């Protein structure tokens, strides 16, 4: 699979070329446009497809923006981004495209000269956060589940607007990927909170006693999210 980016009227689309695709597919998730196309599809046809679907794409992007807190980030060198409660500065380098990596205490991305597009950088950061959120949240869920003597079925990610996780009766746990920006103790609280729903499927006093048994400082963590939750945003 190969990646490239095409600027269209009002947005930048991430193009994924793969020999497993027989036709072009457009998705708009969390305000980001992604087009999966056959490996040899001409760029002109992709550009035409984006033009034909321009109105639909912009409507999807607008719906996402209305539902999310407005980002104050500019996605330029020197800006700080949080991961597990620590701030790391962004460094934009020039060269052949390389996605975001966390190396030597900073987020680094390599772009071709003249291609310093904020949407592209934001998209790469979003992919990095989601990838590491899935890894870290799965690790923590396994650790706390063993400690609590419970079993879960799966761990997934979403971009909730006003919640940090959910747990189905089948044991499928879904976390808001943005929680990975918070300090470790806050992430642990959210994980423990959702796992406690495998024991009590409500927010009854018994549920909160179970949360307190696992996380004695849960009230402080809950308050931290109330005060700082809106700042966990790209």
Within this chain, do residues 145 and 213 fall inside the same structural domain, yes or no? yes
Within this chain, do residues 158 and 226 fall inside the same structural domain, yes or no? yes
- Among 128, 144, 165, the domain-final residue is 128
pLDDT over threshold 80, residue 116: no
Nearest-CA neighbor of 194 among 233, 128, 137? 137
In a domain, 75, yes or no: no
Within this chain, do residues 106 and 173 fall inside the same structural domain, yes or no? no
Q: What is d(CA 110, CA 99) in angstroms, rounded to the nearest whole number?
A: 7
Within this chain, do residues 162 and 210 fall inside the same structural domain, yes or no? yes
pLDDT in tens, 12-39: 888 889 888 888 999 988 788 889 999 8
Within this chain, do residues 62 and 99 fall inside the same structural domain, yes or no? no
Higher pLDDT, residue 123 or 130: 130
**Considering only 2-11, 17-26, 192-201, which range has the smallest mean pLDDT?**
2-11
pLDDT over threshold 80, residue 64: no
pLDDT over threshold 70, residue 1: no
User: Which band of pLDDT confidence, cut at 50, 70 and 90, is reported for residue 69?
Assistant: low
Within this chain, do residues 45 and 60 fall inside the same structural domain, yes or no? yes
User: Which band of pLDDT confidence, cut at 50, 70 and 90, is reported for residue 219?
Assistant: very high
Within this chain, do residues 14 and 102 fall inside the same structural domain, yes or no? no
Q: What is d(CA 87, CA 81) in angstroms, rounded to the nearest whole number?
A: 5
DSSP 3: E
- The predicted pLDDT at position 8 comes to 81
Q: What is d(CA 193, CA 137) in angstroms, rounded to the nearest whole number?
A: 13
In a domain, 118, yes or no: yes
The neighbouring-strand residues paired with 32 are 29
**Domain span holding position 122:** 80-128
In a domain, 60, yes or no: yes
In a domain, 74, yes or no: no
In a domain, 198, yes or no: yes
Within this chain, do residues 178 and 225 fall inside the same structural domain, yes or no? yes
Q: What is d(CA 80, CA 203) in angstroms, rounded to the nearest whole number?
A: 36
- The predicted pLDDT at position 71 comes to 64
Within this chain, do residues 114 and 203 fall inside the same structural domain, yes or no? no
For the entire predicted model, the pTM comes to 0.74
pLDDT in tens, 82-113: 999 999 999 999 998 889 999 999 999 998 87
Within this chain, do residues 167 and 116 fall inside the same structural domain, yes or no? no
* CATH number of the domain that residue 165 is part of: 3.30.2010.10
In a domain, 72, yes or no: no
**How many other C-beta atoms lie within 10 A of the C-beta of residue 52?**
11
Token reading at 14? 């991430």
**Considering only 63-77, 85-99, 143-157, 215-229, which range has the smallest mean pLDDT?**
63-77
In a domain, 73, yes or no: no
Q: What is d(CA 191, CA 165) in angstroms, rounded to the nearest whole number?
A: 8
User: Which band of pLDDT confidence, cut at 50, 70 and 90, is reported for residue 142?
Assistant: very high
Within this chain, do residues 209 and 139 fall inside the same structural domain, yes or no? yes
| Percentage of the chain modeled with pLDDT above 70 | 96
Q: What's the domain count of the chain?
A: 3
Within this chain, do residues 86 and 164 fall inside the same structural domain, yes or no? no
């Amino acid at each position: 699979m190969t990646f490239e980016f095409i600027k269209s009227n009002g947005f930048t689309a991430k193009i994924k070329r793969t020999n497993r695709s027989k036709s072009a597919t457009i998705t708009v998730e969390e305000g980001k446009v992604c087009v999966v196309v056959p490996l040899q599809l001409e760029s002109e046809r992709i550009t035409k497809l984006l033009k034909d679907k321009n109105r639909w794409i912009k409507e999807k992007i607008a719906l996402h923006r209305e539902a999310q807190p407005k980002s104050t980030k500019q996605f330029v060198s020197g800006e700080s981004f949080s991961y597990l409660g620590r701030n790391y500065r962004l460094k934009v380098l020039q060269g052949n495209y390389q996605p975001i990596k966390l190396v030597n205490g900073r987020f680094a991305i390599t772009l071709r000269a003249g291609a310093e597009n904020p949407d592209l950088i934001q998209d790469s950061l979003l992919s990095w956060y989601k990838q590491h959120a899935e890894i870290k949240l799965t690790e923590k869920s396994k650790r706390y589940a063993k400690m609590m003597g419970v079993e879960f079925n799966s761990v997934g990610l979403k971009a909730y607007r006003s919640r940090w996780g959910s747990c189905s009766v089948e044991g499928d746990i879904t976390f808001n990927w943005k929680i990975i920006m918070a300090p470790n103790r806050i992430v642990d609280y959210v994980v423990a909170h959702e796992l406690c729903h495998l024991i009590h499927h409500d927010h009854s006093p018994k549920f909160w006693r179970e949360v307190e048994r696992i996380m004695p400082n849960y009230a402080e963590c809950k308050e931290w999210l109330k005060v700082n939750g809106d700042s966990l945003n790209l």
